[in-house]
Structure 1
Amino acid sequence: MRLRALALMAMLTAACATTALAAPDPDKVLHSSFNAPETGYDPAKTSDIYSHGVMENIFEPLLTYDYVARPAKLIPLVAKSMPEVSADGLTYTIHLQKGIYFADDPVFKGKKRELTAADQVYALKRIADPATGSPSNYLVLGHFVGVDELAEKAKNSKFDYDAPCEGIKALDRYTLQLKLKQLYPALPYVLAMPHTSPVAREVMEAYGQNSLAHPVGTGPYILKEWKPGVKTTLVYNPNFRHVVFDFHPTPGDKAGEQVAREMNGKTMPQIGKIEVSIFTEEQPMWLAFKSGQLDELYSIPQPLLRGVLNMDPKNPRRAALKAEYRKAGLKISRVLDPEMTYWDFNMQDPVLGGFSKEKIALRRAIAMSFDTDQTIRDIRRNNAVRMEYTIPEGVVGHNPNFRYQYEYNRPLANALLDQFGYKIGPDGYRTTPDGKPISIDFLGDASAVGRQWNEYWQEALDSIHIRVTFRPVTFNDLLKAMRSCTYGMVGAAWIADYPDGENFVMLNYSKNIGAENTACYNSPRYDKLYLESQKLQDSPERNHLYDEMNKVMMEETPWLPGETRFRNRMMQPRVLGDEVHPIFQVSWRFMDIQK
């Protein structure tokens, strides 16, 4: 995607014409949906995909992705051009565009507030500030010269944002310089993530703990209303600069060519208002879409897939809308997400955690008792493929020849437990080798699909005589429990923030416990390999380290891998320009809708 800024004209009449062209029709309203609640709209404090989907339209990072390029390709956004990198790869210099303004907010006291390099400096430091409690602090800590020292001092006092920091500094009003401790190959991708978007210091200090509900960015939309877990409404940001769509898809890419035909020559954004409703149950969401109340579905609900798509049971990659929906003009954009699902064993849990042979045997037996192929068929409706590697297909570093899955073999799982002293008591359930009762605290949600997963896990654990208690919680409480290591087992999913393997292998680095390492996995063997991989660009040497890291995880069993799902976004005929992107969660700023 090439986004061309409209030239500023000296003549007043030309400037007025440009302004009129850029403003979207306020009566164009897009009704969208999420199937789980968001957690808030502060880039440094949130990490769920639903919050990020909204923030992608409010905030703007330095870099972004070409909307129609496949595979995903980085391009400048707030930056004037791609970063200038020193010969040793340790210094990045980034020049920002001039004339980019934050959305109006009372904090600015009626004055237009221009985005500067200092705002990016503040945003990155804020991620490292212990008081922020950012789940994304791993993106900054350990990488930039001088930042860790500031964060360490802030544990006993306030973070000194004004202290000189060689690793993150503004050379002038529009120039940012980043100095690294060691090579950080993923840095360009990190600078395209919603987490690292520049923010205004005075806004964050004014709203403090309420920053989740007061996002102020430079993107095409502003937050009009937020009812947590119910509804989010965005409206056009009149301070947004003028941008014209000029898409150049790869020849032969039919979806990209369709987007270009529908959107080229139009200004961003085209839609004046976005209304997002939260549906935690699939059937009400589907009925709202069928009746025309929703313009798009984030993804077709799992239980309805077979009724909506013609799917090849032997090849899940082949699927198409059924004739009745095609005749109605409904559209679908389908892609294998760069994601993985997995089942965490809490490595700090007194029942399941630890590295002794008997604890590894317990986790391994549980993994062997669960039939992933059956759940792909019955729950996922064949809308997924097995995950065999911790880096999914479509992400740099993926190894298609690796086989991670534990063998599904319940007799062998029982024999393994017998061998390591997990005896079956009079009540039919096993005890630990020292005779204590076993009960697994299994965290999940209370939806119909969540209950279905519980049934399959109940059967699996019954087959090896392990007692389990299912504890349904809200999505927000689920995240809190995972990050605080206060559970026994839990299902999780991770979709690429950026299409590089580092985004996935970091999930099990010990210093990310409390953030994205939700298995609470602290393995010196894994950490050593991870730190070695951090020094390398994409290469056979780095791929070898990734293979070794996967082998360590197979041996120590901190989780059971699940599957990689297809995302099936469905749209009404009136929706234009909507295509599932491998990194963007939603595409509202690139879309149009016919009234």
Structure 2
Amino acid sequence: MNPHALLATLAALALLPAQAADMNKVLRVALNAPETGFDPAKVSDLYSSTVTENIFDPLVTYDYLARPAKLIPNTVSALPAISADGKVYTFRLKPGIYFAADPAFKGKKRELTAADYAYSIKRHLDPAIHSPWSFLVDGRFVGGNELVKAAGKGALNYDAPLDGIRVLDKYTLQLTLTETNFNFLPILAMPAFGAVAREVIEANRDNTNAHPVGTGPYLLKEWKPGSRIVLEANPGFRKLVFNATPGNDPVDKAVVQALQGKTLPQVGRIEISVIEEEQPLWLSFLNRQLDISGIPQVALQNALVIDPKNPLKVRLAEQYARQGIQLQRQLLPEITFHFFNMQDPVVGGDSKDRIALRRAIAMSFPVSEAIAGIRRGQAVPMNYIVPAGVAGHNPAFRGAPKYDPAAANALLDRFGYRIGSDGYRTRPDGKPLSIELACGTSSTDKQWNEYWQKTFDTLKIRLGFRQGKWNELSKANHQGKLQMWGMAWGADYPDGENFMQLLYGKNAGDSNAADFKNADYDRLFEASLKLPHGPARNKLYDAMNKIAVAQQPWIFGDIRMRSTLAHRHVKGLKLHPLLGTSWRYLDLQK
């Protein structure tokens, strides 16, 4: 689509009373892994953020239809004024936006103010909270480091003046950065930076994850951890009317036809199930127990007719097309990779023998074969830390090593990993060599494990599997207890910084899951933060990718093609590269 051909806006008419959503309209969806909670300063997993996105309001958000993704005001009257040096961002909030009712407000309507955003941003700096998003704000605001240092290991003093986060008046927030950064605004569109109310947080200090209260279109009605989540339309949500002019894209035209002039949200209730196994998930969709679903790996060949010459060219199987099922596809702005714990005494470190071990494993994993066998061709190999569709991507870079098990074995021989009398390799010092790979418990996880077992058998290295649920493994990973694990990282905001920071030393233990620490990489990353998107910054990104390739803290995986199905009665659906859900934009016409 020509981005200039589309103008999509959401008109907020705050002076008019909100029209209640239809509580008889119930949208049924599923998560394929358990959530961890709903405090935006404490959760970072996709599954929890899917929910918080609909409860809390960031200052800015994304136009639903515009491609490429376009930032628009959300709770502010206009995009912020940004100083000429790219350091000062000034936001003006819309009056008349209110939090959902809560006992903490003592029966009074609680208006959203600039102080709420100041408090919410400061929570990510608070050492006592251990926010997984702290890497986005650490050292960013003038005076922030000093305030954090004064807190030590205790709680942040939220009432202390902070020049970098100032409330100029009830509706005006000013953020002053320590360094020039013209790419900072997309960070503030993330669900993690939605506004919370201080009195609600303090009233529920012991369990903020279970008591989310925001100004967004939905509120949490029911939560059975790891099983079921129910959202209901926020009756106090501001008047928001869909108003867009579509281009030539038929999906855009269908969205406008379904939603034009309607007050959002239309759906009154969202029932979210956690279904980890793929076959039950697929059957739930086919039996109309789910309205929207991705296509599980086990169902790809049944649901899609795939062109054998071009696996990314597909159409919906006739038996489903006849039912009016909708298919939408999108190459995700994400990467998948398996990382090594770089502080581990067996696979970590920067000595030549450890690098050789990691390189040999990377050379022996058949990424293309796994894409064909497990993904059914619905992915492309990853070759660069920044994926396509994100500022900073280099399509010409080839970071993944050539698949060559013979050369990998020769590399291990060269660096002293000898094969013992039992047929397995030992470490260069003669000690036994054994590696543990963390993994999930689903049928698809088991398929991946078969490829990994084949890889390690080829190298004559003992392999063990540590199975667990995603949230359990995530906790162990943050504690540095995993030796190897696979992850996906999607674009929280559409800038290469969001991906290059995954190997930044100061983020070790948080977003830097590999615990990778390299002085040259860190120096280049810090220099890149001072540059706008363009050739100069891209040159630094190439240099950082070369370091990652040389040190091999990751095994590059793939970038998946997202296929989403919806039943005929679901209206208004359009996949977005950055918004996690489209629930507030949907209507149901059964």
TM over 0.5: yes
2:565 is the alignment partner of 1:588: no
**In the alignment, what sits opposite 2:504?**
509
- Verify the 8 A CA contact 1:50 1:585 in the aligned structure 2: no
CA distance in 2, matches of 1:273, 1:119: 27
- Verify the 8 A CA contact 1:185 1:534 in the aligned structure 2: no
Identify which of 24, 31, 35 aligns with 1:34. Answer: 31
**In the alignment, what sits opposite 1:359?**
354
CA shift for structure 1 position 301: 0.4
**In the alignment, what sits opposite 1:261?**
257
2:175 is the alignment partner of 1:178: yes
**In the alignment, what sits opposite 2:465?**
470
**In the alignment, what sits opposite 1:11?**
none
**In the alignment, what sits opposite 1:3?**
10
2:127 is the alignment partner of 1:166: no
The residue correspondences of 1:154-553 to structure 2 (distance < 5 A) are: 154-249=151-246, 251-297=247-293, 299-553=294-548
- Three-state SS of the structure 1 residue aligned to 2:252 is helix
Q: Which segment drifts farther, 368-377 or 143-152?
A: 143-152
- Verify the 8 A CA contact 1:39 1:48 in the aligned structure 2: yes
2:78 is the alignment partner of 1:71: no
CA shift for structure 1 position 468: 1.1
- Verify the 8 A CA contact 2:118 2:167 in the aligned structure 1: yes
CA distance in 2, matches of 1:319, 1:209: 49
**In the alignment, what sits opposite 2:3?**
none
CA shift for structure 1 position 258: 1.4
Structure 2 alignment gaps of length 5 or more: 1-7
**In the alignment, what sits opposite 2:5?**
none
CA distance in 2, matches of 1:476, 1:338: 23
Q: Which segment drifts farther, 482-491 or 496-505?
A: 482-491
- Specify the code of the residue in structure 2 equivalent to 1:578: L
CA distance in 2, matches of 1:371, 1:255: 37
- Specify the code of the residue in structure 2 equivalent to 1:2: T
Identify which of 143, 154, 178 aligns with 1:146. Answer: 143
- Verify the 8 A CA contact 1:57 1:221 in the aligned structure 2: yes
- Specify the code of the residue in structure 1 equivalent to 2:563: N
- Verify the 8 A CA contact 1:339 1:494 in the aligned structure 2: yes
Q: Which segment drifts farther, 179-188 or 132-141?
A: 179-188
- Verify the 8 A CA contact 2:312 2:377 in the aligned structure 1: no
- Verify the 8 A CA contact 2:393 2:496 in the aligned structure 1: yes
Q: Deviations over 1:310-341 (max 9, x none)?
A: 11233233111111111101111110010010
Identify which of 87, 98, 102 aligns with 1:105. Answer: 102
CA distance in 1, matches of 2:61, 2:154: 35
CA shift for structure 1 position 7: 6.1
CA shift for structure 1 position 256: 1.6
The residue correspondences of 1:53-92 to structure 2 (distance < 5 A) are: 53-92=50-89
Identify which of 558, 565, 576 aligns with 2:560. Answer: 565
CA distance in 2, matches of 1:106, 1:568: 42
CA distance in 1, matches of 2:331, 2:472: 28
Q: Deviations over 1:272-317 (max 9, x none)?
A: 00000011101111111111111111x1101111110111233233
**In the alignment, what sits opposite 1:12?**
none
CA shift for structure 1 position 154: 1.4
- Three-state SS of the structure 1 residue aligned to 2:245 is coil
- Verify the 8 A CA contact 1:341 1:561 in the aligned structure 2: yes
- Three-state SS of the structure 1 residue aligned to 2:320 is helix
CA distance in 1, matches of 2:14, 2:359: 62
**In the alignment, what sits opposite 1:574?**
569
CA RMSD of aligned residues (A): 1.0
CA distance in 1, matches of 2:315, 2:36: 33
- Specify the code of the residue in structure 2 equivalent to 1:526: Y
- Three-state SS of the structure 1 residue aligned to 2:269 is strand
- Verify the 8 A CA contact 2:167 2:174 in the aligned structure 1: yes
- Three-state SS of the structure 1 residue aligned to 2:371 is helix
CA distance in 1, matches of 2:9, 2:199: 32
- Verify the 8 A CA contact 2:11 2:242 in the aligned structure 1: yes
- Specify the code of the residue in structure 1 equivalent to 2:190: M
- Three-state SS of the structure 1 residue aligned to 2:215 is coil
- Specify the code of the residue in structure 2 equivalent to 1:269: P
- Three-state SS of the structure 2 residue aligned to 1:537 is coil
- Verify the 8 A CA contact 2:92 2:173 in the aligned structure 1: yes
Q: Which aligned runs of 4 or more in structure 1 are off by greater than 6 angstroms?
A: none
CA distance in 1, matches of 2:515, 2:129: 21
- Three-state SS of the structure 1 residue aligned to 2:189 is coil
CA shift for structure 1 position 515: 1.0
Structure 1 alignment gaps of length 5 or more: 9-14
**In the alignment, what sits opposite 1:125?**
122
Q: Which segment drifts farther, 306-315 or 366-375?
A: 306-315
CA shift for structure 1 position 156: 4.0
CA shift for structure 1 position 345: 0.7
- Verify the 8 A CA contact 2:14 2:238 in the aligned structure 1: no
- Verify the 8 A CA contact 2:14 2:96 in the aligned structure 1: no
CA distance in 1, matches of 2:154, 2:457: 51
TM-score norm. by structure 1 comes to 0.97
- Specify the code of the residue in structure 1 equivalent to 2:411: L
CA shift for structure 1 position 248: 2.8
CA shift for structure 1 position 128: 0.6
Q: 1:132 to 1:409 in 2, by over 3 A?
A: same
- Verify the 8 A CA contact 1:339 1:392 in the aligned structure 2: yes
CA distance in 2, matches of 1:159, 1:480: 24
CA shift for structure 1 position 364: 0.2
Q: Deviations over 1:351-391 (max 9, x none)?
A: 10000000000000010110000000001111101111111
2:54 is the alignment partner of 1:47: no
CA shift for structure 1 position 484: 2.0
CA distance in 1, matches of 2:184, 2:96: 25
CA distance in 2, matches of 1:262, 1:564: 32
CA distance in 2, matches of 1:247, 1:311: 34
CA distance in 1, matches of 2:313, 2:150: 55
CA distance in 1, matches of 2:373, 2:12: 49
- Verify the 8 A CA contact 1:135 1:514 in the aligned structure 2: no
CA distance in 2, matches of 1:7, 1:238: 14
CA distance in 2, matches of 1:248, 1:486: 52
CA distance in 1, matches of 2:489, 2:270: 26
- Verify the 8 A CA contact 1:68 1:248 in the aligned structure 2: no
**In the alignment, what sits opposite 2:4?**
none
CA distance in 1, matches of 2:67, 2:309: 26
